[in-house]
Every structure is written in structure tokens, then in C-alpha cells.
Chain A
């Protein structure tokens, strides 16, 4: 068994394997598949609760992943944001000096959730510019909601 605590390097190596077999397109194909097959719970929560569905989904996953984050929800303003101060997954990969992670490991977060949220009427924006420090942010806005800063 591969423990769920060792999933992240296995996941990263899967991206590397797909890239070797079929290039970037193969990796993207898997991300599209995983989004549709695995993130049905995010879809269902957002369908039932709107933006609060994002809050409910990530409250579960980020706590179980022991992430270091700030999460904000303003339903009236149509705004949800995660500020990831330290992503446990990327952090684990960065700290394992003996293991070469897939260079675009963080790209999956952009594709997987965007695939779900955009067709449901939300704008999905990620800032991956600090991935090399295991930090990033995700903002979800109800389409047509005013752009705002916290």
C-alpha cells in the first residue's frame, strides 16, 4: 500500500510518467479526467449551496491536509478566496531533496477546479507565482460580481 501520506510524490510521479508517454497533452488529459471523475463532490456542493459550496468543500480537504491557510467567504459580494500560506503537498515535494517533482506540479490545482467552477457560472483565478515557496492563492467570484480586494 502507498499510504495517503505518501500520495503526493506518487501523484507527482504520475504526471512525470504521463509526460514521458504523451507529453503535456497527456498530463492535461488526466487532469481533465480526474476533475470530472473525482471532483463530483465539489460540483454537487456548489450546485446546492452556491459559493458556500466552495467553503464547505475546502473546509474538509484543507483541514485534513493540515494546510496553513486563510479562507474567506463573502456570499453577498459573491467572493471566495483561499490564501495558502504553506501548501503541505508542495511543501512536502520541496523538502524532499532526493525527489525530483514534476515541474508543473501545481498546475493541476488550476485545471481541476477551474473545470468544475467555470461552467457553473464562476470566475476562477489562481496566483501560482509563489509556488516555489509552497504558497499560492485561489479566488472564486460569482460571474458578474464586482472585483474586490480584501
Chain B
């Protein structure tokens, strides 16, 4: 049989590998099983504090606009719908179905009971050191649908 060769440049494809959601879920299951819930939250908090440092810096200036743009970007990339209501002091994010949970459910995978922390803990960490606080007003573990609120803290 002839030798086959495939050549690809980065620009040939969009960057969207949804199986990464499953790998993250496996990481959560493993960490939970071996080191407990607190370790899972600590991991996600550390990740969010470090990775989103530039976003947190902008949020610390008191503007919710960059946070809104962040949500719009990640859900657009994931080809998922979301609805956002914004006032100067509050951002309400409505997600009808989490694309990560949808991907895993479509493959029949066990979703970690702590998967909600990719929203709750990450959002809380995003707000650390900023004038804002995060509340998870609703979350359905079956679909990942959620209502997420970011509000300016009372002085």
C-alpha cells in the first residue's frame, strides 16, 4: 500500500475540539475521587485567577463590558446561544444549554457532580479583587442551563 501523507497548517482549520470538555470532566472526576471536593474548587480557582488575570484586571477597573465580551466570545465559538442583560451595576447571563454538558451527554458520558463548579467557582474567582460579586442563580446539572449574575458589591 502506498505511503500516505497529510499536511496541515494551523489556518486550515478552526480551533474547536469539543472532546476537551470530556478531558476536563475526567480531570475533575479524578481529582474529586483522589483529593476531594476542596481540591477541585482550588484547582478551578487557581486556573481562573491566573488565566483570566488580564480580564480580572479590566473588571477591577469597574467596567462589566469586558466580561460581557468574554461570555459572548466563548459561547459564539462553542456555537451556543446565550442571552445577556446588562446595567452599569449588573450583568445577567442566561444560558439555555451548556455546550460542554451537551457534548458529554451526547456521548453518553458520566458528568461529574462538581461540573457546576466550572461556572460557580470560576465566576467567583473572576470577581476576586474586583468591585463585583458572582452569584449562580440557577443551574440544571442535566443540561447545564444556568442563570449567572455579576453584581456590583455594596460599598
Q: B-contacting residues of A (Cβ < 8 Å)?
A: 1-11, 13-14, 16-18, 21-22, 26, 29-30, 33-34, 37-38, 55, 59, 61-77, 86, 88, 96, 98-100
Contact = CB atoms under 8 A, between A and B. Distances in A.
Contact of A6 (B6, B13, B26, B74): B74
Given A1-B100, A3-B77, A4-B100, A70 B144 contact: no
Nearest to B49: A13
Contacts of B23: 7, 11, 34, 38
Contacts of B10: 66-68, 86, 88
Interface in B99-135: 99-100, 118-119, 122
A100 B77 CA distance: 25
Contacts of A21: 35, 39
Interface residues of B, number: 50
Contacts of A6: 51, 74
Given A4-B100, A5-B77, A66-B10, A76 B118 contact: no
Given A1-B98, A4-B21, A14-B43, A75 B118 contact: no
Contact of A34 (B26, B39, B74, B98): B26
Given A1-B99, A13-B47, A37 B8 contact: no
B16 A1 contact: no
Interface in B1-50: 1, 3-24, 26-27, 30-31, 34-35, 39, 42-44, 46-47, 50
